[in-house]
Chain A
Amino acid sequence: MFEFCVEPSQLQGLTWLSCYLTTGKHMAFYTSFGTVLLLLALTAPTALLFGFCGAVASRSAIAPLRWIGRTYVAMVRGVPDIVFFLFVPIALDQGFEYIRHMALCPEVTEPIRRGNDFVVCTAAKLPLNADPQWMHETYGFLLAVLSFAIVFGAFAGNTLRGAFEAVPKAQIETAQAYGMTSRQLFWRILLPQMWIYALPGLSNLWAILTKATPLLFLLGVEDIVYWARELGSMKTSAFSYPHPNWQLWYFLGLLVFYLLLTWVSDRAFARLMARFNLGQGRTGSDTAAAGVGR
């Protein structure tokens, strides 16, 4: 990184450290924090959207929609996360490739499934073999986002469904008495009132999602846990920057990162909660008192 880092074996003390901490691999390590944050930033709204659709479907008056919604929630809730994370990305990947194969190579007559192999024509590969490395990485990352969103969407769906049902019947009945259609009732009364009941569950879910990000490693994305293990392990003199096993320090760093992340999100949720509380049968003084405490 720095010009004086050309000959690492000649360096001492802080200079050595500054060179050590700015190697290419360390840069990849720092970038992976961004990867985790990006995963959270993309997954949370997607999961919320899935959950929202699941919750609305499972409360639908149309029976098939209701079955789809309930099956989705029940299935994901009933299967261990880790099994799901191993299964969903592969299934999604093969699913996409299967559809592309059918669309792009209709002339190929051999079956796609050959024993344990899943063979699609070259043009159907995702991404194409010829695509640059970053596309392969992005594709893997997006599969990971989708998998996380499907799993956490089911939990969010359950939370949201409960929240919809927790809105007092009197509030809904009043809207009906004033002539609202069920659509107006949903958008004007049910949805705005539902959040206060959903927030505690969603904040929990967010904390679990935050702590589940190391599962990215399982999906082949090089996340912060992967790099902490990689960089912290003992480096012999064959490396430019030999050092004993420093994994403890690297993992301490991760610990601080995760603690900070959850602390910041807790504060954000507390503020949201205070905002919603204002209009929900809790008086302003409660909200004010809660504000003073922080």
Chain B
Amino acid sequence: MTSTSVITLRQVRKNYGALEVLKGINLEAREGEVISLIGSSGSGKSTLLRCINLLETCHDGVIEFCGEPVRWQGSGVTRQPADKAQVIRMRTQLSMVFQQFNLWAHMTILGNVIEAPVTVLGRDRNAAVEEALALLDKVGIADKAEAYPAQLSGGQQQRAAIARALAMKPKALLFDEPTSALDPELEQEVVKVIQQLAAEGRTMVLVTHDMKLAHDVSSHVIFLNQGVVEEEGPPDAVFGSPKTDRLRQFLHATSPAVAGA
């Protein structure tokens, strides 16, 4: 495995008013790595993910993408990315998959998948359609290309959203609790797709409540607690022999089966 760093965060901090939600987070995702962020609700893991693709602005710290640091203007709570073009360029190389799928409701599934490649990247429409159909086939919903999002089940919508993310040919994929809005049976069809992507060696950052998924696909697991990295390491170490009390309690409360393994 090569060790080119795709995403690097150093001492990232963010406040919501007086509340400090991220208290100096370090994270590195090298090419081909799958980083899982686990932790209870409110631990800051989704906020951290959203800071990576600049949907939220962190107030201090460094974000590097393929070695290129985000340029900022201002400081503290007024800090903003300085270069809009840079933000857009980074976002096109970091595809996000959302908890609530967020497929664009007025477009067909095919329309959703080709939208950003054609509009943002300016790719040829016919080529984009061809690639999109192949991706929909890969996630198992080739027959739904002409359907609208509202006509699909949650699991199908999330798989379509993953196809949309892949269509950008991103350097890394960001997953924000991709299975949390799904019934257990629908969850599995999405889990399979994520496992397949991990096996292909894609770089991913995954926020999840599904400890089994985190255990199975991750190369590195980060346990966040109240805005700090409480514990991190390879999945076998984190899930098999947790060192901190907080992590032990958390694992016991969420998935006793995995914690015992």
Residues of A near any B CB (own CB < 8 A): 170-171, 173-181, 184, 188-189, 192-193, 276, 278-284
Residue of A nearest to B108 (CB): A279
Residue of B95, B107, B119 near A184 (CB, 8 A) is B119
Task: Name, among B88, B89, B95, B168, the residue most crowded by chain A CB atoms within 10 Å (CB to CB).
Answer: B88
Whether A279 contacts B148 by the Cβ 8 Å rule is: yes
16 contacts between A and B (CB under 8 A): A170-B98, A174-B96, A174-B104, A176-B91, A178-B91, A178-B92, A178-B120, A178-B164, A178-B168, A179-B88, A179-B89, A179-B91, A189-B104, A193-B105, A279-B106, A279-B108
Write out, one digit per residue, whether chain B residues 143-182 have a CB within 8 A of any chain A CB (1) or not (0).
0000011110000000000001000100000000000000
Residue of B nearest to A277 (CB): B150
Residues of B near any A CB (own CB < 8 A): 53, 55, 84, 88-89, 91-92, 95-96, 98, 100, 102, 104-108, 115-116, 119-121, 148-151, 164, 168
Q: If A170-B98, A188-B115, A280-B105 touch, does A177 touch B149 (CB 8 Å cutoff)?
A: no
Whether B92 contacts A281 by the Cβ 8 Å rule is: no
Q: Chain A residues with Cβ under 8 A from B92's Cβ?
A: 178-179
Task: Output the least CB separation between A285 and chain B (Å).
Answer: 9
Q: Chain B residues with Cβ under 8 A from A281's Cβ?
A: 105, 149-150
The 8 A-B pairs with the shortest beta carbon distances in the complex, nearest first, are A179-B92, A178-B116, A174-B102, A179-B91, A279-B106, A177-B96, A179-B120, A179-B88
Whether B95 contacts A178 by the Cβ 8 Å rule is: yes
Whether B88 contacts A181 by the Cβ 8 Å rule is: yes
Q: If A170-B102, A176-B91 touch, does A279 touch B168 (CB 8 Å cutoff)?
A: no
Whether B105 contacts A283 by the Cβ 8 Å rule is: no
Task: Output the least CB separation between B165 and chain A (Å).
Answer: 9
Q: Chain B residues with Cβ under 8 A from A276's Cβ?
A: 106
With A and B bound together, what is the CA distance between A179 and B94 in angstroms? 9
Q: Chain A residues with Cβ under 8 A from B119's Cβ?
A: 180, 184, 188
Residue of B nearest to A284 (CB): B151
Residue of A nearest to B147 (CB): A284
With A and B bound together, what is the CA distance between A143 and B107 in angstroms? 41
Whether A280 contacts B55 by the Cβ 8 Å rule is: no
Whether B104 contacts A280 by the Cβ 8 Å rule is: no
Task: Output the least CB separation between B65 and chain A (Å).
Answer: 13
